[in-house]
Amino acid sequence: MAKFKATSNVVFVVDGKETHFDENVEYDMEVKTADELNAKGELTHPDLSPFFERVDKDDKSAKADK
């Protein structure tokens, strides 16, 4: 699992259910899932892509430096 921040308000169908994601809210999800949702979003709304940006990569780097 990783933390991703939604870059806009968006609704995706995940496992057959509509799932709402709110802008600037962090979500825990598998990297593969975020990549798949970003790929779907790029097809339908390339001007808003990416919909999810990873936010925990820098945290891990900072902790490793300590």
Report whether pLDDT(61) > 70. Answer: no
pLDDT tens string 9-34:
999 988 899 999 999 999 999 999 99
- Summary mean pLDDT of the chain: 88
How many Å apart are CA 40 and CA 66, to the nearest integer? 38
In a domain, residue 44? The reply is no
How many structural domains comprise the chain?
Answer: 1
**Helices of type H across the chain:** 31-44, 57-65
In a domain, residue 34? The reply is no
In a domain, residue 10? The reply is yes
Question: If pLDDT is split at 50, 70 and 90, which confidence band does 60 have?
Answer: low
Work out the number of other CB atoms within 10 angstroms of the CB of residue 1.
Answer: 10
Cα distances (Å, whole numbers) of residue 51 to 7, 16, 24, 32, 61: 5, 19, 10, 14, 23
In a domain, residue 50? The reply is no
- Structural domain including 20 reads 1-29
In a domain, residue 66? The reply is no
In a domain, residue 38? The reply is no
In a domain, residue 17? The reply is yes
In a domain, residue 16? The reply is yes
CB 54 within 8 A of CB 2: yes
Q: What's the pLDDT score for residue 65?
A: 41
